[in-house]
Structure 1
Amino acid sequence: MNAYSESRPEFDFIDWIKKQVTLRPEVKLGIGDDAAILSHQPNREWVTAIDVITEGVHFTSETPPELIGRKALAINLSDIAAMAADPVAVFLGIVLPKSCGRAYAEQLYAGIFEMANEYELSIAGGDTNSWSGPLVLNVTVMGTVEQGKAILRSGANAGDWIFVTGPLGGSLASGRHLTFEPKLKEAKILAQHFHITSMLDLSDGLASDARHIASQSGVGMIVDTQSLPIHTDVNPDLPEAERVQHAMSDGEDFELLLTVSPEEGERLLSEGIQLGVAVTKIGECTEEVGMKLQSGDALIDWPRGGWEHEV
């Protein structure tokens, strides 16, 4: 301790965090001042994602703190992946229950450090507080993407094929929502080798999230229930209609949903696995606005489902 420092638990904790952080070149000033200073290379632009997760909604009081910290960062990285961006820095706002001590906070950060180190981004700042309520984490991730190259939800066209990067359903019940890997590698391969017209990450469930692309692109969608990849976490003994409902509505799969032209779709199916990304075609975008499921020879109404945020 130097002559100007004061030993206080809050400052000691900040110093503990700071000692474990590696700064990327883009982070000119990180933890320790009133604000961080970031820069980026020419012809790059910032992409920013923010998520809040809360005890009792996104995890339980029994969830290990390392997994809570891991998930808090992973879901933001999933948003960065959906824009085909590269993560750079993370800012953390954490409100701890007063019943949790320093050891719990360190375990929480251990999960955050694990993800930050794996994906080479810097913890550049934040704030920690305590209150009499449940644990709340507010995470902001900043990344960069080549100017004009971010993949949006609004670019799908009628006739585009719809793909998903992995199986859906059962994430919450199995605990997979705590341990998933954000699809940063897959997004980078897709963006580099194929013309992706729209993309998002499936956080609230296919039944809910697919509507965002359809609405913002001004298209309809038909998804074939027989083509849906249903995760093994969904009980195989359930009737097929219930298994489809789980795949559509459980949420927190954090796979990528994307659209491409039929020509690019053929190429994606033939070359994707060799490049390191496996995808499944699940449907097509239509000129007629509206959401439908293809079940055998029948077109049925798109189900309500997925996570609905009450505001």
Structure 2
Amino acid sequence: MSGRPSGEFGLIEWIRGRRPRLGPDQGVEGDIGDDCATVRFRDTAAIVTTDMLMDGRHFLLDRDGPEAAGYKAMGVNISDIAAMCGSPRFAVVAVALPRGEAEAIGRGLDAGLRRMADRFGVALVGGDTNAWDGPLVVSVTMMGDPHPLGSPSRAGARVGDVILVTGPLGGSLLRGRHLRPEPRIREAQAIRPALNPTAMIDLSDGLSSDLGHILDESGGLGAVLDESAIPVHADAVALAAEDGVSPVMHALNDGEDFELCFTVPPEAASRLVPGVTLHRVGEIVAEPGICLRAADGRATPLRRGGFDHFRRGR
């Protein structure tokens, strides 16, 4: 094949040839070419997540290239594992490649997937490869080990809990940061024993939207966010200068920051977590809905913004 794949099975063989041979020491039995991968976990429990990314919705193939698409596709799944304070271990990838350039796109996609996976020690153990006359679609399913102390869900927030986030928010589209997720695996695994979070989520759709998921899952609670405490990314400030939307609104609604948002009991909120910067942004209240509190103490209702796949546009 002179080093290049030929057709679907040639591409699969090329991908297989670029993978290190995995064995029992890595928890893998069999090979990537089987109908299913057989993996072993240290404990009986496992955490599993999946995300599908589509050209024109999550990336622009013509502008960003297939490697960036693959890097993001793997990264958003690792970020989901971080939101459960887990350790990512195995991934399977299913792709629908544009027929005319399937092999070239497949090679680039593989490079991005592998680059992100290698950063976090994730083994790509299988998947499915197709070609069609539509745009690039890539779906990653990831499996990991839960934290030994257990994985926080979205459903455990309580009235009085403090809301924290791990980094500045907003403007991720401006300079392509949405294509370069930085999964907070290390931060989550430090936070879990130090603060015992009651609920946690990664910020993929925007703080106002993702915090809303915690509120809904926790029995219809509410939140008050302090406007002056929202950490605003420099990209949000730059974007605000272009479109006239305030930097804090970008921080609340833009999404794809992939920071962590979590809640802790008030007595834990002041504890330091070595090597982790945290921002206290508000508290959980009994009254449903989210309010934004200004510096003068006035609170106004905040409509949930953020990303919604069923809305048109980004």
Q: CA deviation at 1:147?
A: 6.3
Q: CA deviation at 1:194?
A: 2.1
Aligned to 2:294: 295
Partner SS state of residue 124, structure 1:
strand
Q: Which runs of 4+ in 1 moved over 6 A?
A: none
CA distance in 1, matches of 2:270, 2:189: 19
More divergent stretch after superposition (250-259 vs 301-310): 301-310
CA distance in 1, matches of 2:30, 2:286: 49
Aligned to 1:168: 169
Q: What per-residue deviation string (whole Å, max 9, x for no partner) do you get for residues 19-58 of structure 1?
A: 222436222234111111112123x511111101101100
- Aligned pair partner of 1:248 in 239, 242, 252: 252
The alignment yields a C-alpha RMSD, in angstroms, of: 2.0
More divergent stretch after superposition (218-227 vs 7-16): 7-16
Aligned to 2:73: 72
CA distance in 2, matches of 1:119, 1:12: 28
* Letter matched to residue 227 of structure 1: A
Aligned to 1:205: 206
Contact 2:93 2:141 in 1 (8 A): yes
What is the correspondence of 1:190-269 to structure 2 with a 5 Å cutoff? 190-218=191-219, 219-236=221-238, 238=241, 242-267=246-271
Gaps of 5+ in 1: 2-6
Gaps of 5+ in 2: none
Q: What per-residue deviation string (whole Å, max 9, x for no partner) do you get for residues 146-176 of structure 1?
A: 4670110011111110000000000012200
Matched, 1:17 2:15: yes
Contact 2:223 2:291 in 1 (8 A): yes
Aligned to 2:45: 45
Question: Could you state the TM-score of these two structures normalised by the residue count of structure 1?
Answer: 0.91
Classify 1:63/1:298 alpha carbon distance in 2 versus 1 (closer, same or farther; 3 Å).
same
Matched, 1:142 2:143: yes
CA distance in 1, matches of 2:72, 2:161: 32
* Letter matched to residue 295 of structure 1: A
Aligned to 2:90: 89
Classify 1:279/1:146 alpha carbon distance in 2 versus 1 (closer, same or farther; 3 Å).
closer
Q: CA deviation at 1:217?
A: 1.1
Q: CA deviation at 1:101?
A: 3.7
CA distance in 2, matches of 1:55, 1:193: 40
* Letter matched to residue 135 of structure 2: P
CA distance in 2, matches of 1:51, 1:166: 23
Partner SS state of residue 284, structure 1:
strand
Classify 1:162/1:91 alpha carbon distance in 2 versus 1 (closer, same or farther; 3 Å).
same
CA distance in 1, matches of 2:101, 2:173: 25
* Letter matched to residue 15 of structure 2: I
Contact 1:47 1:80 in 2 (8 A): yes
Contact 1:53 1:136 in 2 (8 A): yes
Classify 1:112/1:241 alpha carbon distance in 2 versus 1 (closer, same or farther; 3 Å).
closer
Question: Percent of counterpart pairs with the same letter?
Answer: 40
Contact 2:12 2:129 in 1 (8 A): no
* Letter matched to residue 196 of structure 2: H
CA distance in 1, matches of 2:6, 2:248: 54
CA distance in 2, matches of 1:301, 1:74: 33
What is the correspondence of 1:91-170 to structure 2 with a 5 Å cutoff? 91-146=92-147, 149-170=150-171
CA distance in 2, matches of 1:90, 1:252: 21
Classify 1:162/1:240 alpha carbon distance in 2 versus 1 (closer, same or farther; 3 Å).
farther
Partner SS state of residue 154, structure 2:
coil
Q: CA deviation at 1:196?
A: 0.9
Partner SS state of residue 151, structure 1:
coil
Partner SS state of residue 222, structure 1:
strand
Q: What per-residue deviation string (whole Å, max 9, x for no partner) do you get for residues 81-114 of structure 1?
A: 0001111110100001112142321111101111
* Letter matched to residue 253 of structure 1: D
Q: CA deviation at 1:241?
A: 6.7
Aligned to 1:310: 310
